[in-house]
């Protein structure tokens, strides 16, 4: 049985979920949707490999994508995990340079693909859009600087608390008296996301679990006391 195509309103929301596209007008978004292509990938499929040509951007409509690399020692390094309404590769639409990371589907995933060859002519037709996108990119640079500053200034409990609060906000589902993070992340994934070691993250999670701040249910982290995590952030 053929899988039905995803409604255009969901595609529009997926693009508008990114600051990159949020600066665009409704008619500009609809123009992009006219040339964007919907594609499906099974769990475990590699959508993009590091070093591939930067020829497109992908917006997740359903499923999950893991963005990461493999170190010189052969270890997988998770840089980010994204779900519905999030995008990857938008910078490739502008500079066309090779991919800096691998993108793998961690579950059956549907994405909306915008090709650079279609996007650039669209950009040239809307000259005021260039200025709007420059503002977005400058804001991203500031946020990247802030993230680097956070790694330098905050200890592991604060960084991990910030990450769990963000994951609970983005992927949280009510679960009894807590919030279940509806995304399975290994301790290695978490350690990479907070720039620490797996052993250190494991130790901190155990402390919080023993204290009743978090729990682990069927492989999912459940945040029981968000106020306790926020207190660590300051």
Residues ≥6 apart with Cβ < 8 Å to 14: 59, 60, 61, 84, 85, 87, 112
Degrees to nearest 5, angle at CA 170 with 164 and 175? 75
Q: State residue 217 phi and psi, 5-degree precision.
A: -125, 120
pLDDT value for 44: 92
Residue with tokens 């960084």: 159
* pLDDT for 145: 66
**Over 50: is that where the pLDDT of 1 sits?**
no
- Extents of the domains making up the chain: 8-151, 154-233
Query: Are the C-beta atoms of residues 78 and 188 closer than 8 Å to each other?
Result: yes
Q: What is the pLDDT of residue 151?
A: 57
8-151 and 154-233 in the same fold: no
* Cβ count within 10 A of residue 198: 15
As its CATH architecture, domain 8-151 has Sandwich (2.60)
Total residues belonging to the chain:
234
Structure tokens given for 136: 């977005």
Give the mean pLDDT of 90-110: 88
177-205 pLDDT, tens digit each = 889 988 777 777 788 778 788 888 899 99
Hey, is 53 helix, strand or coil? coil
- 44-68, pLDDT tens digit by residue? 999 999 999 989 989 999 898 988 8
CATH of domain 154-233: 1.10.10.10
pLDDT recorded at residue 71: 67
pLDDT per residue over 149-166, tens digit each?
665 567 888 889 988 998
pLDDT of 18 over the 90 cut: no
Q: Please give the mean pLDDT across all residues of the chain.
A: 84
Contacts of 209 (CB under 8 A, 6+ apart): 215, 216
């Amino acid at each position: 049985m053929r899988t039905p195509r995803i409604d255009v309103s969901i595609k529009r929301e997926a693009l508008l979920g990114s600051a990159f596209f949020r600066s665009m007008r409704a008619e500009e978004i609809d123009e992009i949707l006219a040339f964007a292509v919907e594609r499906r990938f099974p769990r475990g499929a590699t959508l993009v490999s590091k070093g591939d040509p930067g020829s497109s951007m992908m917006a997740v409509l359903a499923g999950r994508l893991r963005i990461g690399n493999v170190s010189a020692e052969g270890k997988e390094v998770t840089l980010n995990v994204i779900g519905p309404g999030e995008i990857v590769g938008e910078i490739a639409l502008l500079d066309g340079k090779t991919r800096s990371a691998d993108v793998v589907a961690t579950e059956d995933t549907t994405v909306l693909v915008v090709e650079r060859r279609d996007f650039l002519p669209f950009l040239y037709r809307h000259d005021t859009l260039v200025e709007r996108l420059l503002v977005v990119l400058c804001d991203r640079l500031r946020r990247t600087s802030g993230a680097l500053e956070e790694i330098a200034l905050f200890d592991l409990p604060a960084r991990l608390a910030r990450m769990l609060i963000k994951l609970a906000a983005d992927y949280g589902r009510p679960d009894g008296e807590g919030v279940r993070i509806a995304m399975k992340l290994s301790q290695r994934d978490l350690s990479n996301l907070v720039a620490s070691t797996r052993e250190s993250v494991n130790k901190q999670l155990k402390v919080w679990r023993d204290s009743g701040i978090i729990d682990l249910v069927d492989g999912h982290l459940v945040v029981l006391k968000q106020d306790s995590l926020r207190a660590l952030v300051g």
